[in-house]
Chain A
Amino acid sequence: MTDATLSTTGAAAPLLAADGTPLKEKLARTTRRMKMRALLLTLPLVLFLILSFVLPIGQMLYRSFNNPTGSNVMPNFAQAIKNWDANQGIPSDDLVEIFVKDMASAKKNREVGKTIGNLATRVNYEIPGSRSLFTKTARRAGKITEGPYFEALVKIDKRWDNPNVWRTLQRVTNDFTLSFYLAATDRKYDSSGAIIMADELYQIYLPILWKTIWLSALITFLCFIIAYPVSYLLSTLPLATSNLLMILVLLPFWTSLLVRTSAWIAMLQKSGIINNVLVYLDIIADESRIQMIYNITGTVVAMVHILLPFLILPLYSVMKTIPPSFMRAARSMGASNTYAFTRVYFPQTIPGIAAGTLLVFILAIGYYITPALVGGSDGLLISNLIADHIKKTLNWSLGAALGTILLVVVLLFYWIYNKLVGVDNLKFG
C-alpha cells in the first residue's frame, strides 16, 4: 500500500490498527523499530572497529599536526613566547630569562619525551645541525644566574644571535604545527619565516609520492592488459573448463603474499630461473645476466602477479553476464571483428574495468611488503618511507604526516570507487 492511498482513505475516516492506533502511525513505529533492530545488529562490529581501527588512525592524523615536544620541555617559555612578535628579531631579556631557567630545569628532567635531547631533535628537524646548540647551552644554562641573559647565551654560542633560531623556537613551542606537512611535501621555512621549496637535492617525499602514483598506475595498466584477455577467455569457455582454469587464478589469490614474493625472488634473481633459462637457450651470455630484481622491475613484476586476481575476478563476473549473441548479431549485421568489439563488447565491460582497476590502484598505492623485499633502493614506495620514519628514524610526526597524505589519496579513490561501483558490489569469486 502506498502513502497516497493511505492518505486519501485516511481523510474520510482514519484506518485503525487492531489496538485502535492509526495504521499510518503504527506502520511508522514498526518501520522505525525494524530499522533500529538492523542497526543494532551492526553495532557491535562498528564499535569494535571504532576502537581498534578508527581511533588509532584518528590519533595518527592528530599526531601529524600536533607535536607537544616543545611545550613539554619548556612549559613556561612556551607560554611566554606565544604572543611575541617574531619580526623584532631578538626577544627581550625577560623572555630570554624564562628561556634560560626552563633550559636549566629541563636539563634535570629524565622523563621520556621531556628531555633536552627531545627538544634538540625536534628543533633539528627545522634547523639541521642545531642539535649541539641546545645540548651545549643546556649544560651551561644552570650557571647563568643574572642578566643580561641574552649576552650570556651569545657567549655560550654565537648562534643565539641569529633571529631565525628564536623564530623557530616560537614555532616549535607551539603544539600545533604544519612543519611536518611542509617537510612531507619537501617544503620548509626560510630564515624570514616564509615557506619555500627545499633544494632540489633534498627533495625526497614528493618525488617518491609521484613515483608511487605512477608506478601504481603502471601496475594497474599492466594488470588490465593481462587480465582482459584471460577474463574474456574464462567467460566464454564452457562452465566446467572455466571452473578448472579459474583454479589457476584463484590459487595465487589464496597463496600467501610472502610465498609469492619469495617465488619471484627465485624466478628473477641473477642466478634465478628466468636468467638460467635465457642462458640455457643462448639468448644471453652467462656473464651478462639481467638484473631483474631489487629494482623497479622486480617491484612491478611481483606486484602485477599479486594484484592480478583482483582485476580478473570483477572483469570475469561482468563479462559472464554479456550474452555472446550480441557479438554475433553485430557481426551478422556487417560489423568487422574490431568494430564489433570496440562498439558492442568493450562498452559493456566498462563497469568491470572500473571496479577492478580502481581496486588494484587503491591496493597498489599502499603496498609495503613486496617493494620492501624486491624493490631494492629505487623500487621503494611511499609506504616504505612511512615505515622507516616510524620504526627507524623515529620521526613519528613526519611519518604520520606522510601517512595522512597517503590516506587522503587512498580515501579519494575509495570515494570514487564507492560512487562508481559501490562497496556492496565487492566480491571474491
Chain B
Amino acid sequence: MSMTEKMKTPGFIALIVATVLFLIYTGSFVGMIGFLIIFGIPYFAMNDLPAYASTKDKIGKYAFLAVCTVIFIFLILPILIIIPLSFNAEPYFTFTEGMMALDPTAYSTRWYEDIWRFGMTAPDGTENWWHDMWNNATWIRAMRNSFFLAIVSTLLATSFGTLAALGLSRPEMPYRSAITSLLISPMIVPLVITATGMFFFYGGTMQGVIPGYEKGLANTYLGLTLAHATLGVPFVIITVTATLSGFDRSLIRASEGLGANGWTTFTKVIMPLITPGMISGALFAFITSLDEVVAVIFLANVDQRTIPRQMFSGLREQISPTILAVATILVIMSILLLTTVELLRRRSERLRGLSPG
C-alpha cells in the first residue's frame, strides 16, 4: 500500500499541473474539465500495478486507461447528451448559449408537452380533451401502436421460442445445428430483405387466404405482429438456450425418480429454473419489436405508425426536439429494462450455483 501511496503523490501533482497548463493554453474551462476527466479517471484506476512495475509499464498502463476512458465516453456520451438537449426551449438540436450559461429560461418542458399535444385537434380545448389526446395525438397513437405490437409479438415469440429452446437443449435433439441456424436467421438476414419478402407475401400472396383479411396482411396489425414476432424469435432462442445450457438434467431424472409425472416436473422443476431466462428473452423480444422500424416502413400505413417509425420520418422531414423528448423516455425505459435483465441474470446464476453474487 505504501508503495502505491508514494507513487501517487507526484503523479497527482503532475496531473493537476497538466490540467492547469491546458487551461492556460486553450483558455477554456470546459476543455479543462474534459482534460481532467480523460486523464484523471485512468489516474485513479492505476492502483493495481505491482510494485516492481517500471516507469515504461506505468506510462503504458496509463495511456491504455486513458484510451479506454475515451472509448467509454464515446459509448455513453451520445446517449446521455440527449437528456439535457430535450429540455431545450428553442427548436434546435443543439445547446443554446442560454443553456450553456444555465439560464433557467433557456430550459423548458415544451417538447414533452408536444408529445401529447402534437396532432390534437384542440390541444387547449377542455371538452373531450382526453378523448382527443388518446385518439388524435400523433405520438400517443404511435406509443399505443408500439406497445400493442410489442406485447402481442413478445407473447407469440416467447411461447413458441421457449418451447423450441426446450427441444433444442435436449441432448437427443436431431438436426440441432440446422434447426438452430434456421431459428436464428431472422436476426442475420438483412431487415430490408425480410421486409421486402413480407411486403410481397403478406400484401399479395396472402390475399383472401385468411378469412376477414381479404386484402392480405399488409397494413394490418396481424401482419405487423407476425413480422415482429418473427424478428423477436432469435433473441428468445439465444437467451433461453443459454439458460438451459447450464441446466442440470439430473434434476429432471431426480424428479421423475421421485414419482413426478412430466407435467409436474415441468411446472415444479424446469419452469422455476428457466423463468429468469425466459423473462430476459421476452424483454429482448419486447425491445426488438419496440425498436423495429424497417418492417413497419414496408408493412404499415400511416395509422399504424410506431414510435421508431414516427422518429424516422421526424428525422427525415422536420427535425424537432420532440424526438429528443421521446428519445429520453426511451432511454429511461432501456435503463429499466437493462436493470431488470441484469438482476434476472444474477438471480439465474445464483439459482444454478454458478456465481456467489
Contact = CB atoms under 8 A, between A and B. Distances in A.
Contacts of A414: 181, 185, 188
Interface in A380-402: 383, 386-387, 390-391, 396, 399-400
Interface string B199-217: 1111001000000000000
A38 B173 contact: yes
Nearest to B50: A328
Which one of B68, B284, B342 has the highest number of Cβ atoms from chain A below 10 Å of its Cβ? Answer: B68
Contacts of A368: 190-192, 294
Interface in B285-309: 287, 290-291, 293-294, 297-298, 307-308
A373 B315 contact: yes
Interface stretch (B12-20, B121-129, B225-233): B225-233
Interface in A392-429: 396, 399-400, 403, 406-407, 410-411, 414, 418, 422-424, 426-429
B233 A60 contact: no
B183 A366 contact: no
Contact of B95 (A45, A260, A273, A308): A273
A300 B206 CA distance: 39
Given A35-B174, A226-B71, A257-B308, A273 B193 contact: no
B21 interface: no
B172 A403 contact: no
B323 A426 contact: no
A239 interface: yes
B338 A49 contact: no
Contacts of A263: 78-79, 81-82, 327
A63 interface: yes
B68 A259 contact: no
Interface stretch (B106-114, B132-140, B237-245): B237-245
B94 A45 contact: no
Contact of A258 (B78, B241, B293, B298): B293
B84 to A, nearest CB: 11
Contacts of B149: none
Nearest to B336: A254
Contacts of A272: 93-94
B163 interface: yes
Interface residues of A, number: 92
Interface string B35-72: 00000000000000000000001001000110110011
A214 B92 CA distance: 35
B194 A56 contact: yes
Interface in B315-330: 315-316, 319, 323-324, 327, 330
Nearest to B60: A337
A52 B229 contact: yes
A347 interface: no
Interface in B8-40: 26-28, 30-31
Report whether over half of chain A's contact residues are helix, strand or loop; otherwise say mixed. Answer: helix
Contacts of A281: 26, 28, 30-31
B94 A250 contact: no
A48 B160 contact: yes
B7 interface: no
Contacts of B263: none
Contact of A366 (B71, B193, B331, B342): B193
A59 interface: yes
Interface stretch (A186-194, A198-206, A241-249): A241-249
Interface residues on B, range: 35 or more
A133 to B, nearest CB: 29
A42 B65 contact: no
A299 B260 CA distance: 57
B293 A35 contact: no
A262 B327 contact: yes
Contacts of A423: 177, 180-181, 184
Given A255-B331, A383-B192, A403-B196, A42 B179 contact: yes
A322 interface: no
A407 B186 CA distance: 12
B335 interface: yes
A349 interface: no
B135 to A, nearest CB: 24
A261 interface: yes
Contacts of A261: 315
A167 to B, nearest CB: 30
Given A265-B315, A280-B30, A422-B177, A427 B238 contact: yes
A429 B77 CA distance: 21
A428 B334 contact: no
Nearest to A250: B338
Given A258-B311, A426-B238, 15 more contacts: A34-B172, A41-B164, A49-B183, A226-B71, A233-B65, A254-B341, A255-B330, A258-B308, A259-B330, A265-B93, A281-B28, A337-B60, A373-B315, A427-B242, A428-B235
The 10 closest A-B pairs by CB, nearest first: A366-B190, A41-B167, A56-B197, A56-B201, A263-B78, A45-B164, A57-B197, A254-B334, A45-B160, A42-B167
25 contacts: A38-B168, A41-B164, A42-B168, A44-B164, A46-B182, A46-B183, A48-B160, A48-B230, A49-B186, A53-B185, A57-B197, A60-B197, A233-B64, A233-B68, A247-B338, A256-B334, A258-B308, A272-B94, A277-B30, A305-B74, A366-B190, A383-B191, A387-B192, A403-B192, A427-B242
Interface of A: 31, 34-35, 37-42, 44-46, 48-49, 52-60, 63, 226, 229-230, 233, 239, 245, 247-252, 254-267, 269, 271-273, 276-277, 280-282, 305, 308, 337, 362, 365-369, 372-373, 383, 386-387, 390-391, 396, 399-400, 403, 406-407, 410-411, 414, 418, 422-424, 426-429
